């Protein structure tokens, strides 16, 4: 048997890369019967068959799994947002960051289209997230700003790109590796969002080693798998302050003597970040009640 990595899945076929060769494989029947989900990024063992095809016999244990979008064995996630066209949306970025924290992946924030933005407005935002502990890279595919730094971060790693449509993820990947030739979309003037130009998650090889996963643009995030007490750990600055609260069951909402709420008043936690925390907490509470 040969061993390789699933780089694309489409219509019940799995494209497996082993070295420089890509083989179109089907999944052995017993996996279908067990309803086992096979994802891009999974490492598999397959038996080559006639006509350059193959049959997947074994799915090796996963190291990580990003749930939305579903990609296996990822080392890091790059969350991409536009600085302008569409306008930067901090509340939506916070939601994407929670999903990344849920998956326990190293996270990089890329703010694209800096050539269209007011730098004096974006720099303080970038500094806020850097203080929290995130790597933030300011990028322009037109001027080349930030592309070398981003390329270095992607080297020899498996990276999933995610973020809302219109952020320019495909344009960034084309700038990192022009040979990818990904289809890019034009921003809709009517709705202020980009068209979904990426239809299926696929793993793309980078020169010198490493892969990136270009995924369909996402315009919403849900937290049905997250418990109330778990949410604070998806906000690093809130998690850090939580141990100082009087009650160990404190949700940092309406409880008295809450160190997190005091930190917001003292300017140690950004009000916008805390507002996002409360908004998501309310959603989790509502989902719990079944409304």
> Does residue 262 fall inside a structural domain?
yes
The answer on 137 and 72 residing in a single domain is: yes
Last residue of a domain, one of 214, 241, 258: 214
Residue 11 lies in a domain: yes
CATH of the domain at 260: 1.10.40.50
Domains held by the chain: number: 3
**Residue 287: Cβ within 10 Å count:** 14
Q: Residues 6 or more apart from 85 whose CB is under 8 A from it?
A: 113, 116, 166, 187, 192
What lies within 8 Å, CB to CB, of 182 at 6+ separation is: 170, 171, 173, 174, 197, 198, 214
Domain membership flag for residue 221:
no
**Do both 205 and 239 map to the same domain?**
no
Task: Tell me, yes or no, whether 51 lies in a domain.
Answer: yes
The reply to whether 259 and 273 lie within a common domain is yes
Same domain membership, residue 92 and residue 16: no
Q: Residues, the chain, total?
A: 291
| Omega before 229 within 30 of 0, i.e. cis | no
What's residue 64's pLDDT?
A: 85
State the CB neighbour count (10 A cutoff) for residue 22.
16
Q: Are residues 54 and 73 in the same domain?
A: no
The residue whose two tokens read 């004096």 is 120
Which CATH number do you get for residue 18? 2.40.50.140
Mean pLDDT in consecutive groups of 10 residues from the start of the chain, 291 residues: 89 87 87 74 91 90 79 89 93 92 90 94 96 97 95 89 84 82 41 42 79 60 83 96 93 94 96 97 83 51
Domain boundary among 61, 83, 108: 61
Residues 196, 87 share a domain: yes
CA distance 177 to 184: 14
Q: Are residues 174 and 254 in the same domain?
A: no
* Domain span holding position 113: 66-214
Q: Is residue 223 part of a domain?
A: no
Q: Is residue 219 part of a domain?
A: no
Return the pLDDT at 149.
95
How far the first Cα of the chain sits from its last, in Å, is 50
Same domain, 204 and 75: yes
Task: For residue 175, give both structure tokens.
Answer: 């700038």
Query: Is residue 16 in some structural domain?
Result: yes
The answer as to whether 70 is a domain residue is: yes
**Structure-token pair, residue 250:** 């404190």
Peptide bond into 168 cis (omega under 30): no
Whether 146 and 38 map to the same domain: the answer is no
* Whether residue 85 is found in the same domain as residue 6: no
> Domain of 171: which CATH number?
3.40.50.300
Looking at the structure, tell me whether residues 160 and 35 fall in a common domain: no
> Distance between CA atoms of 45 and 3, rounded to whole angstroms?
4
């Amino acid at each position: 048997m040969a061993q390789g990595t699933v780089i694309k899945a489409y219509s019940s076929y799995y494209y497996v890369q082993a070295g420089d060769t890509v083989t179109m494989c089907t999944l052995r029947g017993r996996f279908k019967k067990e309803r086992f989900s096979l994802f891009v990024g999974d490492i598999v063992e397959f038996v080559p068959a006639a006509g350059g095809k193959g049959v997947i016999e074994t799915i090796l244990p996963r190291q990580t799994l990003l749930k939305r979008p579903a990609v296996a064995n990822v080392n890091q996630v790059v969350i991409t947002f536009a600085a302008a066209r569409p306008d930067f949306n901090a509340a939506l970025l916070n939601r994407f960051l929670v999903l990344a924290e849920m998956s326990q992946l190293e996270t990089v924030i890329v703010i694209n289209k800096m050539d269209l933005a007011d730098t004096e407005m974006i720099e303080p935002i970038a500094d806020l997230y850097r203080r929290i502990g995130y790597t933030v890279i300011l990028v322009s595919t037109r001027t080349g700003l930030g592309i070398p730094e981003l390329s270095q971060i992607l080297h020899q790693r498996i990276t999933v790109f995610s973020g809302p449509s219109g952020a320019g993820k495909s344009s960034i990947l084309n700038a990192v590796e022009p040979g990818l030739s990904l289809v890019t979309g034009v921003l809709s003037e009517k709705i202020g969002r980009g068209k979904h130009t990426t239809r299926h998650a696929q793993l793309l090889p980078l020169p010198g080693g490493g892969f990136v996963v270009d995924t369909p643009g996402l315009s919403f995030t849900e937290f049905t798998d997250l418990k109330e007490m778990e949410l604070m750990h998806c906000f690093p600055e809130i998690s850090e302050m939580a141990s100082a609260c009087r009650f160990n069951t404190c949700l940092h909402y309406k409880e008295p003597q809450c160190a997190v709420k005091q930190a917001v008043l003292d300017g140690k936690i950004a009000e916008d970040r805390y507002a996002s925390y409360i908004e998501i907490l309310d959603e989790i509470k509502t989902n719990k009640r079944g409304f």
